[in-house]
């Protein structure tokens, strides 16, 4: 028969409140986002304002907005658009 309190306490790993580094994706500015998409900054911002590309305004109530982007969100949108281009479309890549 065991007595209560004589067993060693189980080892518990400490919990952290920080997000693991493999789950965190930093925001980038419009310059890095435009380089990623090979667009000019002006073209990128026009597409964001038109709702064609995802962007996150730093201060939504500001008269002149500063935008931040996640490259993974931009990549998802671009991959989805590539999948919807018909093979007969003039935008479709040609095979040689």
Quick: pLDDT tens for 8-45. 666 656 555 555 555 788 999 999 999 999 999 999 99
Greater confidence (50 vs 64) lies with 50
Report d(CA 74, CA 32) in Å as an integer: 12
User: Does residue 4 lie in a domain region?
Assistant: no
Task: Tell me phi and psi for residue 69, to 5 degrees.
Answer: -135, 155
User: Does residue 74 lie in a domain region?
Assistant: yes
User: Does residue 16 lie in a domain region?
Assistant: no
User: Does residue 37 lie in a domain region?
Assistant: yes
DSSP reduced 3-state for 68: strand
| Domain count within the chain | 1
Give the structural domain span for 62: 30-84
Please tell me the predicted confidence (pLDDT) of residue 78: 87
User: Does residue 89 lie in a domain region?
Assistant: no
Query: Is 30:67 a contact under the CB 8 Å cutoff?
Result: yes
* End-to-end CA separation in angstroms for the chain: 81
pLDDT tens digits, one per residue of 64-92: 889 999 999 999 998 887 777 556 555 55
Please tell me the predicted confidence (pLDDT) of residue 53: 94
């Amino acid at each position: 028969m065991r007595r209560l309190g004589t067993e060693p306490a189980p080892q518990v790993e400490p919990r952290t409140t920080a997000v693991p580094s493999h789950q965190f994706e930093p925001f980038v500015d419009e310059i890095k986002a435009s380089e990623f998409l090979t667009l000019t900054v002006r073209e990128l911002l026009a597409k964001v304002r038109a709702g064609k590309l995802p962007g996150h305004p730093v201060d939504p109530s500001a008269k002149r907005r500063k935008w931040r982007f996640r490259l993974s969100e931009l990549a998802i949108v671009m991959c989805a658009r590539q999948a919807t281009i018909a093979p007969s479309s003039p935008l479709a890549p040609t095979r040689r």
